[in-house]
Amino acid sequence: LAKTTQPISMDSYEGQEVNITCSHNNIATNDYITWYQQFPSQGPRFIIQGYKTKVTNEVASLFIPADRKSSTLSLPRVSLSDTAVYYCLVPSEGGNKLVFGAGTILRVKS
Amino acid sequence: ETGVTQTPRHLVMGMTNKKSLKCEQHLGHNAMYWYKQSAKKPLELMFVYNFKEQTENNSVPSRFSPECPNSSHLFLHLHTLQPEDSALYLCASSQVGTDLDYIGYTFGSGTRLTVV
Protein backbone atom coordinates (compact mmCIF):
# COMPACT_ATOMS: atom_id res chain seq x y z
CA LEU A 1 0.00 0.00 0.00
CA ALA A 2 1.13 3.56 -0.71
CA LYS A 3 2.30 5.42 2.36
CA THR A 4 1.09 8.81 1.17
CA THR A 5 -2.24 10.57 0.65
CA GLN A 6 -2.80 13.35 -1.85
CA PRO A 7 -5.80 14.94 -3.60
CA ILE A 8 -7.18 13.02 -6.54
CA SER A 9 -7.27 16.02 -8.86
CA MET A 10 -6.72 19.76 -9.10
CA ASP A 11 -7.56 22.37 -11.71
CA SER A 12 -5.60 25.53 -12.39
CA TYR A 13 -5.11 28.21 -15.03
CA GLU A 14 -2.01 29.15 -16.92
CA GLY A 15 0.28 31.48 -15.02
CA GLN A 16 -0.99 30.52 -11.59
CA GLU A 17 1.02 28.96 -8.79
CA VAL A 18 -0.12 25.45 -7.92
CA ASN A 19 0.44 23.83 -4.53
CA ILE A 20 -0.16 20.11 -4.09
CA THR A 21 -0.07 18.84 -0.53
CA CYS A 22 0.74 15.28 0.44
CA SER A 23 0.27 13.56 3.79
CA HIS A 24 2.77 10.97 5.01
CA ASN A 25 1.93 10.50 8.67
CA ASN A 26 4.11 7.41 9.13
CA ILE A 27 7.25 8.74 7.51
CA ALA A 28 10.40 7.18 8.95
CA THR A 29 13.26 9.18 10.41
CA ASN A 30 15.57 8.63 7.45
CA ASP A 31 13.00 8.84 4.66
CA TYR A 32 13.29 11.40 1.92
CA ILE A 33 10.16 12.71 0.19
CA THR A 34 10.18 12.59 -3.58
CA TRP A 35 7.83 13.91 -6.22
CA TYR A 36 7.41 12.58 -9.73
CA GLN A 37 5.52 13.82 -12.77
CA GLN A 38 3.94 11.50 -15.33
CA PHE A 39 2.51 12.28 -18.76
CA PRO A 40 0.24 9.75 -20.51
CA SER A 41 2.05 6.69 -21.86
CA GLN A 42 5.41 7.81 -20.45
CA GLY A 43 7.44 6.82 -17.43
CA PRO A 44 7.34 9.03 -14.33
CA ARG A 45 9.94 11.78 -14.28
CA PHE A 46 11.74 12.95 -11.13
CA ILE A 47 10.82 16.50 -10.11
CA ILE A 48 12.24 17.17 -6.67
CA GLN A 49 13.33 15.48 -3.46
CA GLY A 50 13.73 16.76 0.07
CA TYR A 51 14.18 15.80 3.70
CA LYS A 52 13.19 18.92 5.65
CA THR A 53 12.40 22.64 5.39
CA LYS A 54 12.58 23.83 1.80
CA VAL A 55 14.16 22.65 -1.41
CA THR A 56 14.05 24.55 -4.67
CA ASN A 57 15.19 23.68 -8.16
CA GLU A 58 14.56 25.07 -11.62
CA VAL A 59 11.06 23.61 -11.91
CA ALA A 60 9.56 23.43 -8.41
CA SER A 61 9.85 24.00 -4.68
CA LEU A 62 9.19 21.52 -1.94
CA PHE A 63 8.10 22.66 1.50
CA ILE A 64 8.38 20.26 4.44
CA PRO A 65 7.24 21.33 7.93
CA ALA A 66 9.19 20.42 11.03
CA ASP A 67 7.07 17.36 11.88
CA ARG A 68 7.58 16.02 8.32
CA LYS A 69 4.09 14.50 8.31
CA SER A 70 3.21 16.37 5.14
CA SER A 71 4.87 18.14 2.26
CA THR A 72 3.79 20.61 -0.41
CA LEU A 73 4.95 20.69 -3.99
CA SER A 74 4.80 24.19 -5.41
CA LEU A 75 4.79 24.77 -9.16
CA PRO A 76 5.25 28.44 -10.04
CA ARG A 77 3.39 29.90 -13.01
CA VAL A 78 2.08 26.68 -14.51
CA SER A 79 1.54 26.25 -18.24
CA LEU A 80 -0.63 23.89 -20.26
CA SER A 81 2.31 21.51 -20.55
CA ASP A 82 2.27 21.00 -16.79
CA THR A 83 -0.97 19.03 -17.13
CA ALA A 84 0.05 15.63 -15.78
CA VAL A 85 -0.21 13.26 -12.83
CA TYR A 86 1.97 14.16 -9.84
CA TYR A 87 3.06 11.52 -7.36
CA CYS A 88 4.34 12.05 -3.83
CA LEU A 89 6.43 9.13 -2.56
CA VAL A 90 8.36 7.99 0.45
CA PRO A 91 10.31 4.74 0.52
CA SER A 92 8.64 1.54 1.59
CA GLU A 93 10.00 -0.70 4.33
CA GLY A 94 13.46 -1.80 3.23
CA GLY A 95 14.05 1.59 1.69
CA ASN A 96 14.75 0.69 -1.89
CA LYS A 97 11.36 0.40 -3.53
CA LEU A 98 8.63 2.87 -4.33
CA VAL A 99 4.95 2.06 -4.00
CA PHE A 100 2.87 4.44 -6.07
CA GLY A 101 -0.57 5.69 -5.11
CA ALA A 102 -3.07 7.18 -7.50
CA GLY A 103 -1.30 10.54 -7.59
CA THR A 104 -2.87 13.94 -8.24
CA ILE A 105 -4.18 14.74 -11.70
CA LEU A 106 -3.36 18.36 -12.41
CA ARG A 107 -5.28 20.00 -15.24
CA VAL A 108 -4.06 23.38 -16.41
CA LYS A 109 -6.51 25.39 -18.46
CA SER A 110 -5.98 28.38 -20.70
CA GLU B 1 23.18 7.08 -24.82
CA THR B 2 22.02 8.05 -21.34
CA GLY B 3 19.25 7.16 -18.93
CA VAL B 4 17.01 4.13 -19.09
CA THR B 5 16.10 2.70 -22.49
CA GLN B 6 13.23 0.30 -23.07
CA THR B 7 12.53 -1.67 -26.24
CA PRO B 8 10.26 -2.12 -27.99
CA ARG B 9 8.10 0.96 -27.41
CA HIS B 10 5.01 -0.83 -28.65
CA LEU B 11 4.24 -4.54 -28.84
CA VAL B 12 1.18 -6.44 -30.01
CA MET B 13 1.19 -10.14 -29.31
CA GLY B 14 -1.19 -13.05 -29.45
CA MET B 15 -2.02 -15.09 -26.39
CA THR B 16 0.10 -18.01 -27.61
CA ASN B 17 3.17 -15.94 -28.47
CA LYS B 18 6.43 -15.62 -26.59
CA LYS B 19 8.09 -12.23 -26.49
CA SER B 20 10.57 -10.33 -24.36
CA LEU B 21 10.80 -6.76 -23.15
CA LYS B 22 14.25 -5.27 -22.76
CA CYS B 23 15.53 -2.57 -20.45
CA GLU B 24 19.01 -1.09 -20.37
CA GLN B 25 20.32 1.55 -18.00
CA HIS B 26 23.39 3.68 -18.65
CA LEU B 27 23.54 5.31 -15.21
CA GLY B 28 25.75 2.88 -13.34
CA HIS B 29 22.90 1.99 -11.00
CA ASN B 30 22.81 -1.28 -9.09
CA ALA B 31 19.06 -1.86 -8.73
CA MET B 32 16.41 -2.35 -11.40
CA TYR B 33 12.64 -2.67 -11.29
CA TRP B 34 9.67 -3.68 -13.41
CA TYR B 35 6.35 -1.88 -12.96
CA LYS B 36 3.01 -2.46 -14.66
CA GLN B 37 0.55 0.35 -15.28
CA SER B 38 -2.92 -0.60 -16.47
CA ALA B 39 -5.35 1.97 -17.78
CA LYS B 40 -6.30 4.52 -15.10
CA LYS B 41 -4.56 2.55 -12.35
CA PRO B 42 -1.51 3.29 -10.22
CA LEU B 43 1.81 1.77 -11.06
CA GLU B 44 2.14 -1.74 -9.66
CA LEU B 45 5.57 -2.94 -8.63
CA MET B 46 6.26 -6.37 -10.17
CA PHE B 47 9.91 -7.26 -9.57
CA VAL B 48 12.93 -5.80 -7.80
CA TYR B 49 16.55 -6.67 -8.53
CA ASN B 50 19.39 -5.53 -6.29
CA PHE B 51 22.92 -6.24 -7.47
CA LYS B 52 21.48 -8.64 -10.10
CA GLU B 53 19.63 -10.68 -7.47
CA GLN B 54 15.87 -10.77 -7.41
CA THR B 55 14.75 -9.50 -4.04
CA GLU B 56 11.06 -9.13 -4.65
CA ASN B 57 8.31 -10.76 -6.66
CA ASN B 58 4.95 -9.23 -5.89
CA SER B 59 2.78 -12.29 -6.58
CA VAL B 60 3.25 -11.89 -10.30
CA PRO B 61 1.85 -14.76 -12.43
CA SER B 62 4.45 -17.15 -13.80
CA ARG B 63 3.63 -16.13 -17.37
CA PHE B 64 5.87 -13.13 -16.58
CA SER B 65 9.49 -14.18 -16.13
CA PRO B 66 12.18 -11.61 -15.34
CA GLU B 67 15.87 -11.95 -16.07
CA CYS B 68 18.73 -9.74 -14.94
CA PRO B 69 22.00 -10.93 -16.51
CA ASN B 70 23.98 -7.95 -15.19
CA SER B 71 23.35 -4.70 -13.37
CA SER B 72 22.76 -2.81 -16.64
CA HIS B 73 20.20 -5.07 -18.31
CA LEU B 74 16.78 -6.31 -17.32
CA PHE B 75 14.40 -8.45 -19.35
CA LEU B 76 10.79 -9.43 -18.93
CA HIS B 77 9.94 -12.63 -20.78
CA LEU B 78 6.30 -13.04 -21.69
CA HIS B 79 4.42 -16.20 -22.64
CA THR B 80 0.77 -17.22 -22.89
CA LEU B 81 -0.43 -13.82 -21.77
CA GLN B 82 -4.05 -12.83 -21.33
CA PRO B 83 -5.82 -9.75 -22.73
CA GLU B 84 -5.96 -8.28 -19.21
CA ASP B 85 -2.16 -8.19 -19.25
CA SER B 86 -2.34 -5.36 -21.77
CA ALA B 87 -0.70 -2.39 -20.08
CA LEU B 88 2.27 -0.04 -20.04
CA TYR B 89 5.31 -1.85 -18.66
CA LEU B 90 7.88 0.42 -17.11
CA CYS B 91 11.45 -0.27 -16.14
CA ALA B 92 13.32 1.81 -13.58
CA SER B 93 16.77 1.86 -12.01
CA SER B 94 18.26 3.36 -8.90
CA GLN B 95 21.48 3.40 -6.90
CA VAL B 96 21.07 1.53 -3.66
CA GLY B 97 23.58 1.84 -0.83
CA THR B 98 24.82 -1.04 1.24
CA ASP B 99 22.21 -0.21 3.85
CA LEU B 100 19.55 0.13 1.16
CA ASP B 101 19.11 3.87 1.55
CA TYR B 102 16.75 5.18 -1.08
CA ILE B 103 18.25 7.61 -3.57
CA GLY B 104 15.88 7.96 -6.49
CA TYR B 105 14.45 6.22 -9.49
CA THR B 106 14.97 6.87 -13.17
CA PHE B 107 12.26 5.44 -15.35
CA GLY B 108 12.30 4.38 -18.96
CA SER B 109 9.60 5.44 -21.41
CA GLY B 110 7.87 2.10 -21.17
CA THR B 111 6.59 -0.58 -23.51
CA ARG B 112 2.95 -0.37 -24.47
CA LEU B 113 1.84 -4.00 -24.63
CA THR B 114 -1.39 -5.15 -26.25
CA VAL B 115 -2.42 -8.78 -25.99
CA VAL B 116 -4.92 -9.91 -28.60
Tens-digit pLDDT profile for residues A70-89: 999 999 999 999 999 999 98
Instruction: Report the pLDDT averaged over residues A33-59.
Output: 93
Instruction: Report the pLDDT averaged over residues B62-73.
Output: 94
Would you list the DSSP string of chain B? --SEEEE-SEEEE-TT-EEEEEEEE-S--SEEEEEEE-TTS--EEEEEEETTEEEEE-S--TTEEEEEEETTEEEEEEES--GGG-EEEEEEEE---TT------EE---EEEEE-
Nearest one of A72, A105, A97, A106 to A3, comparing CA atoms: A97
User: Residue A58's pLDDT is what?
Assistant: 94
8 A C-beta contact, residue B46 and residue B36: yes
With a cut of 60, say whether residue B65 has pLDDT above it: yes
User: Residue B14's pLDDT is what?
Assistant: 92
d(CA B106, CA B102): 12
| Model confidence band, residue A28 (pLDDT cutoffs 50, 70, 90) | confident
- Pick the more confident residue, A46 or B52: A46
Nearest one of A24, A23, A17 to A106, comparing CA atoms: A17
B42, B48, B92 member nearest A101 (Cβ): B42
Question: Does B107 contact chain A (CB < 8 Å)?
Answer: yes
8 A C-beta contact, residue B65 and residue B79: yes
8 A C-beta contact, residue A62 and residue B21: no
With a cut of 60, say whether residue A45 has pLDDT above it: yes
Instruction: Report the pLDDT averaged over residues B90-100.
Output: 78
Q: Which amino acid is at A68?
A: R
Interface A-B: count of C-beta contacts within 8 A? 59
User: Residue B76's pLDDT is what?
Assistant: 97
Q: Report helix, strand or coil for A81.
A: helix
Q: Note whether B50 contacts A91, CB cutoff 8 Å.
A: no
B44, B88, B94 member nearest A96 (Cβ): B94
Burial of B31 (0-12, 13-18, 19+ CB in 10 A): buried
Q: Which amino acid is at A39?
A: F
Q: Note whether A46 contacts B48, CB cutoff 8 Å.
A: no
Q: Which amino acid is at A29?
A: T
8 A C-beta contact, residue B93 and residue B51: no
Tell me the residues of chain B between 28 and 67 that have a Cβ less than 8 Å away from chain A.
31, 33, 35, 42-45, 48, 50, 56
d(CA B22, CA B40): 24
Q: Which of B105, B106, B109, B111 to mutate to test the interface with A (most CBs of A within 10 A)?
A: B105
